[in-house]
Amino acid sequence: MSKNAVVLLSGGMDSATVLAMATAAGHRCHALSFRYGQRHSAELDAAQRIARQFAVEQHRIIDLDLAGIGGSALTDSRIDVPETPADGVPVTYVPARNTVFLSIALAWAEVLGAADIYIGVNAVDFSGYPDCRPGFIEAFETMANLATKAGVEGQSIRINTPLIQLSKAEIIRQGIALGIDYRDTVSCYQANAEGRACGKCDACRLRRAGFEAAGVADATCYVE
Amino acid sequence: MSKNAVVLLSGGMDSATVLAMATAAGHRCHALSFRYGQRHSAELDAAQRIARQFAVEQHRIIDLDLAGIGGSALTDSRIDVPETPADGVPVTYVPARNTVFLSIALAWAEVLGAADIYIGVNAVDFSGYPDCRPGFIEAFETMANLATKAGVEGQSIRINTPLIQLSKAEIIRQGIALGIDYRDTVSCYQANAEGRACGKCDACRLRRAGFEAAGVADATCYVE
């Protein structure tokens, strides 16, 4: 089976760590990012820096107009990014985003003959986002094996989620051990054009708490 | 539950028939098409004509660069469209296309609060294309209900495939009864700019045989 892997790379700390892990596992990594109508392009700049650092085979940025569909604070500028935590599915949830991203990763994996897809979903997120839960990932993998030529021919596609049971602190410690400089990553939902983080949104709060819990200096450039 | 439905509309005869059926079932239909790097735009012109005819609530055409991923005769001009039938998965198979299209339909359904997604997969196709088989559709539906807010909140998403067990002849007879003029549809894999069909590819062959079996005059404009 091919050692090619498709790695979803947003430019945030989780997907950067996943790329480091997939590389360390000996895969030839094909990084996949999306210009999907997100509020800022700083995370795509970050994705490009990280892809270069880990010398991926290819890095594709696919244009996909999820903003035309709307329904999320991350793609609709009329919905504010919340700066205090709330119950339930957050408004920063982008409808079916991981399903869409994994589907396109699956298409590319099929063309490459890659058996492995990597995605940086993790435990801290899946309380709020339905498409970060283990049950979703398992169902996607089952579907993927019925959807594809590889599946028909008895090979199988694996959806790898090495972070799914890790805390942010564990992610950070493992990433640092694998050589990631988290200053190159952007997690903030509303980073400015230079990639500076707001320090207030859920993504910033989780990231800051992760560095504290890991006992590591916070490698984030904040606006203030 | 909302009567909104998302209907995947390629501009071919199958998806046109599905739109007619979803409309007849009382849904407020939201038609979804893709500019995904296919060889010709005649089928999108057809999709627009059909969407108008059935007075859909909205018709969205999403740009999505599957040609950048390649791997199919339908999106890669270096691979010829075959003009004789072959065994196995045809080269016109677009990797994971239905998975990608259904995923984006799912995203839109979630924004609309729609419980129903319609797709025109059918029995004639699923011998060759893995993502037209009933097992795939069931697995996608299971995944969709784990992927979405609606699923988390106990509602459910249905993937409707009213053509899945129909022959082309049955599709044509039902479509005509629902008022479709199949001259408005384009099935050919390599139609010219005016939407005229080659008469030679698999899609043309299946369509012509369907009209013959239905005992209906072939409503196709051929190049010759």
Domain chopping of chain A, boundaries:
4-214
pLDDT in tens, B51-96: 999 999 999 998 887 777 766 655 666 667 666 666 666 666 678 8
pLDDT in tens, A165-193: 999 999 999 999 999 999 999 988 888 88
Cβ neighbours for B65, distance < 8 A, ≥ 6 positions apart: A62, A63, A64, B36, B37
Q: Do A69 and B108 touch (CB under 8 A)?
A: yes
Burial A129-148 (b: 16+ CB within 10 A, else e): bbbbbeebbebbbbbbbbbb
Q: Do B136 and A149 touch (CB under 8 A)?
A: no
| Contact predicate A157/A117, CB 8 Å | yes
| Contact predicate A139/B144, CB 8 Å | no
Residue range B182-209: mean pLDDT, rounded? 89
Q: Do B103 and A96 touch (CB under 8 A)?
A: yes
Q: Enumerate residues 162 to 221 of chain B having a beta carbon within 8 A of any beta carbon in chain A.
A: none
Closest chain A residue by Cα to residue B69: A108
Residue range B212-221: mean pLDDT, rounded? 91
Band of residue A92 on the pLDDT scale cut at 50, 70, 90: low
Nearest-Cα distance to chain A for B180, in Å, is 28
- Residue for token digits 């320090």? A199
Q: What is the pLDDT of residue B1?
A: 44
Which CATH number does the domain A4-214 belong to among 3.40.1080.10, 3.40.50.2300, 3.40.50.620, 3.30.465.10? 3.40.50.620
Which CATH number does the domain B4-180 belong to among 1.10.3720.10, 3.40.50.620, 3.10.450.50, 2.40.50.420? 3.40.50.620
